[in-house]
Amino acid sequence: MSLLKVSDLSLGYDGRSIIKGVSFSVNEGDYLCIVGENGSGKTTLIKGLLGLMGKYRGTIEYASELSQNHIGYLSQHPRYSRDFPASVREIVMSGFLGSRRFGFGYSKAQRQEAALIMENVGVGELSQKNFGELSGGQQQRVLLARALCATRKLILLDEPTSALDPLATADFYSLIKRLNHQGVTVIMVSHDINAAVRNASHILCLDSDKSFFGTTHEFIHSPLGKKLIVSDCPCDVCSKDETVEVSEDA
C-alpha cells in the first residue's frame, strides 16, 4: 500500500529551484534512503514532505490515513541544549502533542505506549534522567522514541548520525533497520552512501544532472550508483546470488 507519492516535484527558496522534477513513491514497509552531494536538496526535500515550504511545481500525495501531523520526524539539528530542563520521559511524551486534545493531559494508553517505545529503542532505564546528561547516541535514541510516539507508520530522519561517533552510528543504523523490520516505514537522509545501500530497500539519489529512484539493487548497478559506491555490491539480492553460486559449485 502506498503511503506517499511524489510527482514531478520542484522546491526551492527565493525564486530559485533547488530540487527539480523529482518523482518517487514510498510503500508501507519501505526503507528509503535519500542520498546526494551537499547542496543537492536532501533537507529541502524533507521540509517539503513535512509541508514546511511551498511547492513550485508537482504534487505530494499522502495516504488517506496519513497526514503531515502524523509523521514522525527527527531533524538534523534537534533544538535541545545540553542544559535543557526535561527528563527523557517528558521529551518522549511530547511526541503525542500533535494528537492530544487542547487542555487535556496524556492518556494512560499514551503513557503505556511511550514506555514500550522507550524500551524498544533502548532508553527505558533512562526515563527519569535529565536529557542533557545523556551521550549523543542516547539523545538520538530518545528523540527517535519521540518521533515514534507521533506515529508508528512513517518516520523521517534527516542525517541522524551526523554528530555521532562510529560505534554509536553503527548502533543507530542497526536500530533503524530493526524498527523497519517491525513494520515502521522509514525515509532517511544520509551522507553515507555505502551505509545506505547496506540498510535501505530503496534509494533516491539527488543529482544535478539526473536523479535516480529505485530499489537498492537497481541503484547499485546503475551508472550513477557505480560512480558513487566505493565498495563491492552489499545488497541482499547480490549476496543471495553469491550464496547460491557457492552452493552450486560445492
Q: What is the pLDDT of residues 108-164, one digit of tens each?
A: 999 999 999 999 999 999 999 999 889 889 999 999 999 999 888 899 999 998 888
φ/ψ of residue 134, rounded to 5? -85, 160
- For the chain, the maximum distance between any two Cα atoms, rounded to a whole number of angstroms, is 68
Percent helix, percent strand, percent coil in the chain, to nearest 5: 40, 25, 35
pLDDT score for 243: 35
> For the segment 32-49, what is each residue's pLDDT rounded down to a tens digit?
999 988 888 999 999 999
Q: What is the pTM of this model?
A: 0.86
Locus of grid cell 500533535: 98
Average pLDDT of the chain to the nearest whole number: 84
What residues does CATH 3.40.50.300 cover in the chain?
1-71+154-163+185-250
**Right CATH number for 1-71+154-163+185-250 from 3.40.50.300, 3.30.450.90, 2.40.50.140, 3.30.70.360?**
3.40.50.300
